[in-house]
Chains A and B, each alone.
Chain A
Amino acid sequence: MNENKIMRIFKRILYDYIYIPLKILSKDKRALFGLIVLIIYILMSIIGPIFVPLNLEPNMEERYQPPSWKHPLGTDFAGRDIFAQIVNGGRDILIAAFLAGFVTIGLGTIIGLIAGYIGGKVDIIVTTLIDIFLTIPGFPLLMIIATWLLQSGITVNILMIAFLLSITSWAGLARSVRSQVLSIKQEPFIEVDKCLGLSKFHIIFKEILPNAMPYIAINFMLSSVSAVYSYTGLMALGLIPYTPGNWGAMIHMAQAYVGTITGAGCWYILAPSLVIIILQVSLVFLSNGIDKIFNPRLREW
């Protein structure tokens, strides 16, 4: 391969996967807002802890301080800086959310493809399974599994949490992928591929999957949103071991101390709440924008 060809491929990737999506996003103010907020959050979680180290030493003389230059967001029930906790507490949530998104689309796509492409008895069994998992309420199931895990003393790593968080969310995507596969399987162009002797691999990954891409992309975003909800929710209930300063843990503590928090200390409730709400809103806005990237019919140009 000569250098020219590599450059051409590189340029094409840059054009197809960076330039065009950004161009579509830039027309959609809300999606752009979501993207920028998300980038800020990611940067904050990566380089923030270097500048604002977490100091969990209690300082009882500075309980529930209002925002000041020393404490930009005030202090909590033990006189610790809230801003430092906010900056340090996001990393786990972001990692868990995006990992859960990947696990969901992975499981959903594979199971949907299997059901749709193989068909027959496999399809019946898998569809029944999908229907069951669509009705099982996800969050209550998560709660009992989390209590179970907490009791068992198994050390929970972030990948395990991601799998847990996508325990029921794969079903919706699997159903969409399955029905896409079923409808595309009958199309003439698949017949042509088969006549040309193209491999199953080619048919699945080059012909069928791109058609299911809108569902996969949107499910990635939406399962990230619901993963943030479930993860912070489980932490707010104290059901998942958390790292100090985590936003969900802050909600948990704020709820436990809610009766004692005085007027100036309301920042302790407001800060983690607003941070989580803004993250969720930006993810929802971005997911609408991503819908437009993969769904040409929704675009205006």
Chain B
Amino acid sequence: MRWIVKRLLMALLTIYVVTTITFFLIRFMPGDFVEMMVYYYMTNYGMSEFEAREMVYGLYGVELKDPLWLQYIKYMITLLHGSWGESYITHQPVLKVLLYGLPWTVFLLSTSLTISFVIGIGIGILMAYRRGGVFDNVASVIASISRATPNFILGLLLLYFFAIYYPIFPARSSYDISIKPGFTIEFISSVLYHSFLPMMAYVLTSFGGWALAMRGSAIRVLGEDYIVAAEARGLKSSRISRTYVGRNALLPLFTSFAISLGYMFGGSVFIETYFAYNGIGQIIGLALSWRDYPLIQGGFLLITSAVVISNFIADLLYGLLDPRIRRGGMYE
């Protein structure tokens, strides 16, 4: 129990540090962002300078009149109220814009992560069993190439060759706009069709990392005495590989599973921008090219929160899956 509280505090502290970073980035915004916004409201909405200034301060929770510590507290409070400022390009609340893209990104990332994890684990354990053999050598070269290839480069190559040069797959959007969204076979198949290439970009660049990690982990487990004992007891090799090797080798990979979600969120800017996929990554990509600070920072906050939460869940799961951690008095 104490361990859970500790982890929870740690998670909150991380989110707190990130919000502090975003505050100071807003506060010390170069090119005087506030003045720019004041000017923007004055010219576009015909406000007086005072009105426009009040408006901007209210929107971003920044009041330059106050001392820094008070500004900081006010900023934190507005964040807690869910007001992350207004997007510069769309004139909608940042949170609303981001929540629109979230389901698409979560769908794309969780599916590709699961596929690459399963493929990687399978290949990794086979490599560990046949280590030193031809399969191991070939597979580890392929896995290294997969691990080393940046996902944005593969995404660009896939986009060019399979969506533009040979237009087998659609190049844009996450579904066919002519089909009405809903739980129809037509819509779902359109979504799957549109997500195939982005998914491939993720899967092909991440399965290798899983395979290599699983290989190392499985080789370590194969050297353990209980495997020798299990073999000596005459257990079927399929049972040994599944329940003795597989389970134990998988354990250390669970935390990296959660961490990699964060990396994929970061990389989603490329893939979703290239394929014009309607997720968070594309929104952040647009925000970056338009210098839409509130949206960029909102996106960063959302990504970090997602990573922190998934890390927390992974830690809890890890404790549940591994009895040694559960009983052994938690971490230290």
Measuring CB to CB, which residues of chain A are less than 8 angstroms from any residue of chain B?
30, 128, 131-132, 134-141, 143-145, 147-148, 151-154, 225, 228-229, 232-233, 236-239, 251, 254-255, 258-259, 261, 263, 266, 269-270, 273, 276-277, 280-281, 283-285, 288
Chain A's closest residue to B332 (CB) is: A127
Q: Is B317 an interface residue (CB 8 A)?
A: no
B270 to chain A, nearest CB (A): 7
Residues in B neighbouring A283, C-beta threshold 8 A: 148
In contact, A151 and B291 (Cβ under 8 angstroms): yes
B241 to chain A, nearest CB (A): 24
When A137-B263, A258-B164 are in contact, do A132 and B14 touch as well, CB less than 8 Å?
A: yes
Q: Which of B47-55, B72-80, B150-158, B194-202 contacts A (4 or more CB under 8 A)?
A: B150-158
Q: Is B110 an interface residue (CB 8 A)?
A: no
Measuring CB to CB, which residues of chain B are less than 8 angstroms from any residue of chain A?
10-11, 13-14, 17-18, 21-22, 25, 29-31, 141, 144-145, 147-150, 152-153, 156-157, 159-161, 164-165, 259, 262-263, 265-267, 269-270, 273-274, 284-285, 288-289, 291, 293, 296-297, 299-300, 303-304, 307-308, 311
List 7 contacting pairs A-B, 8 Å CB cutoff, sorted by A.
A128-B13, A131-B10, A132-B10, A139-B267, A148-B25, A254-B156, A288-B144
Residues in A neighbouring B17, C-beta threshold 8 A: 132, 136
In contact, B10 and A128 (Cβ under 8 angstroms): yes
In contact, A143 and B307 (Cβ under 8 angstroms): no
Chain A's closest residue to B299 (CB) is: A140
Chain B's closest residue to A282 (CB) is: B148
Residues in B neighbouring A277, C-beta threshold 8 A: 145, 148-150, 153
In contact, B164 and A147 (Cβ under 8 angstroms): no
Residues in B neighbouring A229, C-beta threshold 8 A: 150
When A137-B265, A255-B274, A266-B165 are in contact, do A153 and B31 touch as well, CB less than 8 Å?
A: yes
Residues in A neighbouring B259, C-beta threshold 8 A: 134-135
When A147-B291, A284-B148 are in contact, do A137 and B307 touch as well, CB less than 8 Å?
A: yes
In contact, B165 and A263 (Cβ under 8 angstroms): yes
Residues in A neighbouring B148, C-beta threshold 8 A: 225, 277, 280-281, 283-284
Label chain A's interface by main secondary structure: helix
Bound complex: CA A140 to CA B25 (Å): 14
Bound complex: CA A238 to CA B286 (Å): 12
Residues in A neighbouring B165, C-beta threshold 8 A: 263, 266
With A269-B157, A285-B144 known, 14 other A-B pairs at CB within 8 A are A30-B141, A136-B14, A136-B304, A141-B300, A143-B300, A144-B25, A144-B300, A148-B30, A154-B30, A258-B156, A259-B164, A273-B153, A277-B150, A280-B149
In contact, A140 and B304 (Cβ under 8 angstroms): yes
Chain B's closest residue to A232 (CB) is: B150
Residues in A neighbouring B270, C-beta threshold 8 A: 233, 236-237
- Residue among A233, A263, A276 with the most chain B CB within 10 A? A233
Bound complex: CA A270 to CA B158 (Å): 11
Residue among B263, B297, B308 making CB contact with A139, cutoff 8 Å: B263
In contact, A136 and B144 (Cβ under 8 angstroms): no
In contact, A269 and B30 (Cβ under 8 angstroms): no
Chain B's closest residue to A278 (CB) is: B148
In contact, A135 and B307 (Cβ under 8 angstroms): yes
Residues in B neighbouring A141, C-beta threshold 8 A: 21, 300
B266 to chain A, nearest CB (A): 3
When A258-B160, A283-B148, A284-B144 are in contact, do A137 and B304 touch as well, CB less than 8 Å?
A: yes
Chain A's closest residue to B306 (CB) is: A137
Bound complex: CA A258 to CA B171 (Å): 11
In contact, B274 and A138 (Cβ under 8 angstroms): no
B285 to chain A, nearest CB (A): 7
Bound complex: CA A141 to CA B21 (Å): 10
B299 to chain A, nearest CB (A): 7
Bound complex: CA A285 to CA B140 (Å): 10
Bound complex: CA A144 to CA B289 (Å): 11
